[in-house]
Amino acid sequence: MEHIDHILVVDDDHGIRTGVVDYLRKNGLRATAAAEGREMMAQLDTSAFDLIVLDVMMPGDDGLVLCRNLRSGKHRAVPVLLLTARDDETDRIIGLEMGADDYLTKPFSPRELLARIKAVIRRTRMLPPNLRITETTDILAFGRWRLDTTARHLLDEDGTVVALSGAEFRLLRVFLDHPQRILSRDQLLNLTQGRDAELFDRSIDLMVSRLRQRLQDDAKEQAYIKTVRSEGYVFSMPVSVNGDAP
Amino acid sequence: MEHIDHILVVDDDHGIRTGVVDYLRKNGLRATAAAEGREMMAQLDTSAFDLIVLDVMMPGDDGLVLCRNLRSGKHRAVPVLLLTARDDETDRIIGLEMGADDYLTKPFSPRELLARIKAVIRRTRMLPPNLRITETTDILAFGRWRLDTTARHLLDEDGTVVALSGAEFRLLRVFLDHPQRILSRDQLLNLTQGRDAELFDRSIDLMVSRLRQRLQDDAKEQAYIKTVRSEGYVFSMPVSVNGDAP
DNA sequence: GGCGACGGATACACATCGATACAAAAAGCG
DNA sequence: CGCTTTTTGTATCGATGTGTATCCGTCGCC
């Protein structure tokens, strides 16, 4: 199954925002728009993104502030490409110091933007993760289990290894990244596979069922993953990170 | 004593070459020129450089080939900034993964070049120093193994030597250079052999299988190399460099 | 309690991957 | 050079992972 890169375009100017989104979609990427910072954060919580295109000049929190906030939050690993208005070196230097991965000065050609987007994604993909800001921590503990996100498997209290398939691992990590939150099947599909649900798509139900089996989570008791009828699923157990108190 | 960044400018066009070198010097950097690949390698052997500016379009070995050679040789750690002609060449660069750190399309403003040079240098400097030398290191340790990149063979904990074929060694080094990253078969083919996959090409699967045999990795549990169905493979174990703590 | 929608479980289909066998190509070696 | 040995790619078959279809239990609503 092919992964399609998903870009989040953040710009207060409606024309630029929709223009960029349309252009990216025409060129085979997924693209979503956000008009300002709060909307950006909301999108980041519900979908997985491969890159954020961020305008520097915006009312309210400007792009530099947002960029810095991003870098200290949960989505620190997502690459950022800044759009700077002037040919002003200070903005760009500050931007790169704030942790942006590239920048482009307005006005820009869509072609150039697309090329830079692809280049940044490629570049960050190739970097070994210890060289970048790490997205997730190594060990996520919950109940009697620990998930080793490096080795991509589960450990029980004795340290016994339980292997996970790729899809199971991704699903569990999404749950652990969003504990105590109802996640719809749409969101789960988006966050695990970056694709949208088709009609009568029940593959998520299946994956949940298989994950429950691995966790020996009885669907009746549902200690870990609770079903919320007609809404989705919740991971309903405290998760501790790298040995912190839960 | 203060360190002044030293840039190597490689371009066959005499005007660009000297123009860039002059501009960089006027802005407080050291700069050295080279007209083609052999001269570049000679310079690299006699001086230390902080970055290489490399033209893609050159007679003889072009910049892409030189870049790939750089990345598999002694000077793999030096950042590279590519200069490309304005046409579709950028796509080609992105498609090929030769590990450039940034690129700039001609014609460019000297200001822009300088800004990007500084950005790339800053970015690589910000990386933890012990990890940056990964590229030039001799011994890479993981699990119960050590890979000697000079002798091109494996050592187990007793020091027993396990020989590797050329392809096995290249594949393992690619994995160790990019741990915890999902690498597609395309990427692995590119990085190990510099060629693209044909239809129904399963040579990478074969090499992975053979490498697993060498590592006595049974592909089920606690594996070094995990398969991610329909995406590729991950090296899923911490790698330490020249005896550092993992 | 009865009805309908939703979700769990099972079975199955299909694609992908691992392992083995074998052939072609490359590298040693006299 | 010709032969052997090693390495590397192709072909094939069985095993495994993941999605679709189906049946059936259960929950909520009237």
Q: At what angle do helices B166-177 and B185-193 cross, to 10 degrees?
A: 120
Of all nucleotides, the one whose C1′ comes closest to residue A212's CA is C8
Whether residues B231 and A165 touch (CB distance < 8 A) is answered with no
Distance A31 CA to C28 C1' (A): 56
Distance B91 CA to D11 C1' (A): 35
Of all nucleotides, the one whose C1′ comes closest to residue A189's CA is D19
Distance A167 CA to D18 C1' (A): 8
Question: pTM of the full predicted structure?
Answer: 0.79
CA distance B179 to B239: 7
CA distance B183 to A4: 15
CA-based Rg of chain B, rounded to a whole angstrom? Answer: 20
Amino acid at A179: P
Of all residues in chain A, the one with the smallest CA distance to B179 is A128
Of all residues in chain A, the one with the smallest CA distance to B237 is A151
Q: What is the pLDDT of residue B133?
A: 42
Provide residues of B within 8 Å CB-CB of chain A.
90-91, 93-94, 97, 99, 101-103, 105, 111, 115, 118-119, 122-123, 127-128, 131-132, 134, 177-181, 187, 220-222, 226-231, 234, 236-238
Does the pLDDT value for residue B210 go beyond 90?
yes
Question: Of the candidates A93, A115, A152, which has its C-beta nearest B94's C-beta?
Answer: A115
Residues of B with Cβ-Cβ distance to A1 under 8 angstroms:
230
Q: Is B161 within 8 Å of B153 (Cβ atoms)?
A: yes
Sequence-distant (≥ 6) Cβ neighbours of residue A139 within 8 angstroms: A146, A147, A148, A149, A241, A242, A243
User: Residue A35: is it exposed, middle or buried by C-beta count within 10 angstroms (0-12/13-18/19+)?
Assistant: middle
Q: Is the peptide bond before A107 cis (omega within 30 degrees of 0)?
A: yes
Q: Which two tokens stand for residue A29?
A: 């990427």
Distance A242 CA to D21 C1' (A): 42
Whether residues A128 and B237 touch (CB distance < 8 A) is answered with no
Q: At what angle do helices A203-214 and A166-177 cross, to 10 degrees?
A: 90
Residues of B with Cβ-Cβ distance to A93 under 8 angstroms:
115, 118-119
Give the model confidence (pLDDT) of B35-81 as tens digits. Answer: 988 899 999 988 899 999 999 888 777 787 788 778 766 787 788 88
Of all residues in chain A, the one with the smallest CA distance to B104 is A116
Distance B63 CA to C27 C1' (A): 31
Residue A103: which H helix or E strand, with range? strand A102-105
Whether residues A112 and B105 touch (CB distance < 8 A) is answered with yes
Whether residues A153 and B221 touch (CB distance < 8 A) is answered with yes
3-state secondary structure at position A241:
strand
Q: Is the peptide bond before B79 cis (omega within 30 degrees of 0)?
A: no
Encode chain A (246 residues) as per-residue pLDDT tens digits.
Answer: 567 889 999 999 999 999 999 999 999 899 999 999 999 999 998 888 999 999 988 887 888 888 888 877 778 788 999 888 766 555 556 666 677 888 888 788 898 899 889 888 877 776 655 444 444 567 899 999 999 998 999 999 998 999 999 999 999 999 998 999 999 999 999 999 888 877 788 999 999 999 999 998 876 666 799 999 999 999 999 998 876 555
Residues of B with Cβ-Cβ distance to A163 under 8 angstroms:
220-221
**Alpha-carbon distances, residue B119 vs A201, B51, B122, B141 (angstroms):** 46, 11, 5, 32
CA–CA min distance B144, chain A (Å): 15
Residue B232's Cβ-side half-sphere holds a number of Cα atoms within 13 Å equal to 16
Q: What is the pLDDT of residue B61?
A: 74
**∠ Cα A183 A43 B183 (to 5°):** 85
CA distance A21 to A11: 11
Give the model confidence (pLDDT) of A109-149 as tens digits. Answer: 898 899 889 888 877 776 655 444 444 567 899 999 999 99
> For residue A147, which of A137, A136, A155 has the smallest C-alpha distance?
A155
Residues of A with Cβ-Cβ distance to B179 under 8 angstroms:
128-130
